[in-house]
Structure 1
Amino acid sequence: MMLRKHFLTGALGLVLATVLSSCLKDSCETSTTYIRYDPVFITPAALRKDVVAEAPRALKEPGKIYVYEGYLIINEHEEGLHIIDNRNPKSPVPISFLPIPGNIDLAVRNNILYADSWIDLVMINIEDPANPKFAGRIQDAFPNYGIDPALGITVTYKPTKVTESIPSCDQSGPIFFRGRGLFIDAAFDAQRAGSSGSKVAAPGGNTVGVGGSTARFTINESHLYTVDRSNLRVFNLKNAIAPKLANTLGIGWDIETIYPYDNKLFIGGMSGMQIFDASDPERPKFLSNFQHARRCDPVVAQDNRAYVTLHEGTACQGFENELNVLDITDVTQPKLIKTYPLHRPIGLSITGEILMICDSDEGLKVFNAKDDLAIDKNLLQHLKDFDAFDVIALEKQSLAIITGKNGIYQYDYSNPKKLQKLSVLSISK
């Protein structure tokens, strides 16, 4: 999992429990390996430049993917968005790049692209994807870590592994501050590390794109929903280029993903899946919580079933790697039907009877999920030639778009027993 604003929120609670102890006055030093998290600052002027489209650039560190009207939009981690003409998946054509500092997530409605830029929300008009136009910005839409008068806004913390002698007076357990730095004992940090996309029916002529199962942004009708580690935010999009923050709900801790289905919001976290009713779009109502051991948790849903992958990861504790199949006929009482062990599953999709699971370095696994109790016995195909992270499956096109360690892969899955590779957008080394 990527570290930035989401990590620090979770760490601070533990820091408060560990650093507020008294310090003995001695000269003892201990050589210890720590992960040092240094604050990253950006000035308001640098953050809030208008976004101006540039020529296409090479993929280097792709993150979230999104599909809109025949175009594939790929996040370049904390740098911006690649726009790809994907109307012919056999020959995708990069057409522009949007430099957006701090960008991780995105969603699109009616040709307006919404993207995070560190603590801001920016709007881009992509009616002409080859010539996107900056449309507006909501400042301070998301929380920051403070402002230094000289250095600017603290937007994230970057990790560096260090081994050095640190006065024991500075050390107050596995996590402590020294100067501006946040230190986490490397062993403790290692212990922590120990689809059809989220497309929603959009009445009234709305056109909404398709995101993956690891998304933190999603759109339901005329509202944008975003999640961070502990909050669900609702933005009213009736004025598309000047959205209004309509509500902020505290929804627990360690929230990971959001997936909309049938006017419901399925929210995955490290300790469970929550379901909210979004019938009143600005006041989502909590319906239920399916709890599990502490692990990372993408989720997708279809009809009366939800599919949850649990995996160990950089911000997750626990060591179970599995698929949970849930009965959500009664959304107020989700029930576990069966658990299937896997290697290290992350993103997933469900389209009809076809369940696709990205199983990290074991690649993509394609199952027939018609029989809830025999999914493991119905493996249709196993693609092993890439490390898979997330997948968007477009049912009408029988097209699977998969993010992997070495590129973005596209497959025709009209025959789910024999997927046909169409193209690969390679990552520049």
Structure 2
Amino acid sequence: MRNPHVLLVSRHDYGHLNPTIELAKNFRLAGARVTVATTISGFYKLKSLPSLHGISCLSISDGHDDDINAGKIPGYVHDLKRVGSESLASLIQTLSESGKQVTLLVYTLFLPWAAVAARELNVPSAILLIQSATCFSIYNRFCNSRDGIVVVNKDIGTSISMKLPGLPLFKWSDFPTFVLPTSPYFSDMVSVCQEHLQFLDDDPNPHVLINTMDGLEPESLKSIANAVVVGPLVPSSLSSSQDPYFKWLDSKPENSVIYVSFGSTAVLSKAQKEEILHGLIGSCRPFLLVLRDEGEDEEEEIKELKKKIGDDGLVVGWCSQSEVLKHRAVGCFITHCGWNSTLESMVAGVAVVACPQFADQPTNAKMVEDVWGNGVRAFVDETMVVRREEIKRCLEAVMGGGARAEEIKKKVEKWKQVAVESVKDGGSSQMNLKLFLGSIS
């Protein structure tokens, strides 16, 4: 196709935007004209990034343009579908009328209505899975309209388990939380997943782009028709090495620092923050902890614990994660195990202590410990808190120098090399994307 114009549509969450932006850059490198569209709140996040040269950014409406927290409103996915599909169709038509006809629409997971809007305008489309292929396989087993678990079983209990080809047994605590009836988003998200699966089933030639790596999820990839591996889509640097925390990292020995971050969405309880701080201080290892700044609203107990942190601890409100993980001083990553963070840890070659919170994170944590072997999973107590003793156990397993730590180190190096080969110039992900782009007519 000559001069293809790719329109990428994403939700406003950073977990969706970050891989979308990286894929947009890769499409640009492959010779396409590229436009990224998201909701109003996401649009301002895009415009704040310095690394979007040659990529246009546009917005669509979700019906809540003045509410930056609209995604937490019950029924938001239905508002997004109703208003967003009309707004997207109008955007595609406007681009066409201005001589910028869209030749391919790429939409992220949980936006099936975007594919419907594209089909009605005779625009080819492809879904970008911003979660793992394994998670998508689980969504299929739960939500497909033929024999999906939520279709044939109206009373899903905690004893439920699932065996996927080539993988260990998955239990209740290993599933993406959205497919479990205890999730407040269960009804909405199951409906969205069913729409995704139905659209792909009805499409005689579906296109599925997956943010994963060759060799990482071979069996799960086999279960997805027309899967195209385009990852790992890891964000580029967003900060300068002049930022103060880099100077602090420079002062620490190699592989000595525990980096701790739970992403941009998770809200930690007071008890969990206390346990993390106690566990880190008691580890007697240097640590860089990301806690979103709460200012005067921060609990007094947390303020007091912060005062006990010496020179070997640093708490920041934000940092450039992909760059921090690549720093020579970082030896362990305590993470919520979102898919972006999981892939970033592999690219950087850093072992993981997984503390999943919600969504796909429990599944990623299961894979980290039981399949990929590049880390361990921390377990919660009856109050759903990871206690300081458990944090100590996990850190010892990863950084203690014993047999398990050595085995984890080997797996970390293995997946780092796979990632390097995937994203290098002429690597598998780059070639896969070029072949895919050339196949769209």
Q: TM-score range by the shorter chain?
A: under 0.3
Superposition TM-score, scaled by structure 2 size: 0.27
Superposition TM-score, scaled by structure 1 size: 0.27
Higher helix fraction: Structure 1 or Structure 2? 2
Higher RCO structure (Cα 8 Å, ≥6 apart): 2
